[in-house]
């Protein structure tokens, strides 16, 4: 195992741009459903996948440094996060996304004076597909996820959460972690909550920024053959023409990219309530972040944030 920094991954060679997905793993069934969805999005040979488990700093940890010099997946399960990453690796094999003839490499980086530090195992196929399993140490889970997002510029970050509550268990993803990541990250985030495949994406539009986001998600949905549906809410009947205009422009933009729009619908009423009600039967509700870049507090007063908080199923925030 080499003791190198893996802040900047070295698999980004010259050539066609690859689609990079980060899946945050905490060992829950919800996070493994999120991983399954990531595999579906990563179909083809142009997608790279990183699985991340963040281990909060444990000053009382007594593990010996010699452990860090062993093959990452040969460690005992007592190391926090190792069981979750091994289960995720096995899931990739079962899904056919990871084969047995890939090149493997183990890397370690010292961090926060921890005896184990940050560790990573990478798999690279002959066609250039790259999978990384990362066990990162950080002051807290959200900080580790945000650092990883900033360093490696993922096209999509998937963070799964079971329910609204959850105890503060080391390494687990609860609402506090999710809220911090979705609010402070500047990229596209999918909050995977009881996510199910094959029910399509409900893309919500109402202005120019959301129309651009609709086109972006439609291309993303096309990666996994997910049906695309459009939805727009007007406050009053008098404002319905504006909603219909947004639908028409979004449909034109999406179909211009060669993606079919299955249905397009408008509604009257409270935007958050109507979107949650309409979106409950879809795999993902898709919203644009209309806040000003760099001013995350504005996102917390948006319809997108309200939907993220109160929807019972998965929500994607496009940025």
The pLDDT tens digits of the residues spanning 155-195 come to 999 998 765 544 444 568 888 999 899 989 989 999 998 78
| Across 312-317, average pLDDT | 92
Judge whether 19-192 and 201-318 match in fold.
yes
Going by pLDDT thresholds of 50, 70 and 90, the confidence category of residue 65 is: very low
pLDDT at 302 over 90: no
pLDDT digits (tens, 9 = 90+) for 250-287: 999 999 999 999 999 999 999 999 999 999 999 999 99
Rounded to 5 degrees, φ, ψ at 30 are: -65, -40
Please report which confidence band the pLDDT of residue 76 belongs to, taking 50, 70 and 90 as the band edges: very low
Alpha-carbon span 163 to 173, nearest angstrom:
10
Q: What is 19-192's CATH number? A: 3.40.50.620
| Alpha-carbon span 44 to 21, nearest angstrom | 13
CATH topology of domain 201-318: Rossmann fold (3.40.50)
**Domains of the chain by residue range:** 19-192, 201-318
Mean pLDDT of 35-49: 88
- Closest by CA to 231, choosing from 200, 196, 186, is 200
pLDDT recorded at residue 36: 92
pLDDT, tens digit, for every residue of 232-253? Answer: 999 999 999 999 999 999 999 9
Q: What local confidence, expressed as pLDDT, does residue 259 receive?
A: 94
pLDDT tens per residue, range 118-149: 889 999 998 889 999 999 999 999 999 999 99
Residue 13 has pLDDT above 60, yes or no: no
Question: DSSP letter string over 29-69?
Answer: HHHHHHHHHHHHHT-SSSEEEEEEEEEE--TT----GGGGG
Q: Are strands 130-138 and 118-124 parallel, antiparallel or unpaired?
A: antiparallel
Mean pLDDT over all residues of the chain?
83
Q: How many Cβ atoms are within 10 Å of 128's Cβ, its own excluded? A: 14
- Which of 25, 32, 30, 123 minimizes the C-alpha distance to 72? 123
Q: In what order do the strands lie in the sheet with 156-160?
A: 103-109, 118-124, 130-138, 47-56, 19-24, 156-160, 189-192, 314-318, 284-288, 201-204, 228-234, 261-268
Alpha helices in the chain (DSSP H): 29-41, 82-94, 141-152, 175-184, 208-223, 240-255, 271-279, 296-299, 303-310
Contact assessment for residue 53 and residue 73, using Cβ atoms and an 8 Å cutoff: no
How far is CA 230 from each of CA 75, 94, 245, 286, rounded to the nearest angstrom? Answer: 48, 34, 12, 10
Task: Provide the terminal-to-terminal Cα distance of the chain, rounded to the nearest Å.
Answer: 37
Judge whether 31 and 160 are in contact, CB under 8 Å: yes
The position carrying tokens 């010292």 is: 110
Q: Tell me, what's the pLDDT at 165? A: 45
**pLDDT higher at 163 or 205:** 205
The residue ranking higher by pLDDT, 110 or 74, is 110
């Amino acid at each position: 195992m080499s003791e190198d920094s893996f802040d900047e991954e070295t698999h980004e060679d010259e050539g066609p741009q690859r689609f990079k997905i980060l899946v945050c793993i905490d060992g829950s069934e919800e996070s493994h459903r999120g991983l399954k969805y990531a595999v579906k999005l990563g179909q083809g040979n142009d997608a790279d996948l990183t699985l991340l488990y963040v281990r909060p700093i444990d000053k009382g940890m007594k593990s010996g440094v010699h452990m860090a010099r062993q093959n990452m997946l040969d460690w005992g399960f007592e190391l926090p996060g190792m069981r979750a990453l091994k289960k995720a690796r096995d899931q990739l094999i079962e899904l056919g996304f990871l084969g047995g003839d890939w090149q493997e490499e183990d890397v370690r980086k010292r961090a926060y004076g921890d005896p184990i530090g940050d560790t990573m195992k990478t798999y690279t196929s002959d066609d250039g597909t790259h999978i990384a399993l990362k066990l990162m140490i950080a002051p807290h889970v959200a900080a580790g996820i945000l650092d990883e997002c900033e360093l490696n510029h993922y096209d999509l970050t998937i963070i799964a959460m079971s329910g609204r509550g959850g105890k503060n268990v080391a390494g687990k993803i609860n609402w506090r972690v999710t809220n911090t990541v979705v609010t402070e990250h500047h990229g596209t985030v999918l909050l995977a909550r009881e996510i199910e495949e094959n029910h399509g994406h409900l893309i919500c539009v109402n202005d120019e920024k959301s129309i651009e986001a609709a086109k972006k998600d439609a291309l993303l949905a096309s990666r996994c053959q997910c049906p695309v549906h459009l939805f727009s809410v007007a406050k009053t009947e008098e404002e319905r023409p504006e909603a219909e205009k947004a639908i028409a422009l979004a449909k034109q933009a999406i179909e211009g990219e060669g993606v079919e729009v299955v249905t397009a619908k408008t509604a009257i009423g409270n935007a958050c309530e109507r979107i949650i009600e309409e979106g409950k039967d879809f795999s993902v509700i898709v919203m644009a972040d209309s806040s000003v870049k760099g001013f995350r507090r504005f996102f917390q007063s948006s319809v997108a944030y309200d939907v993220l908080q109160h929807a019972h199923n998965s929500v994607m925030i496009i940025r």
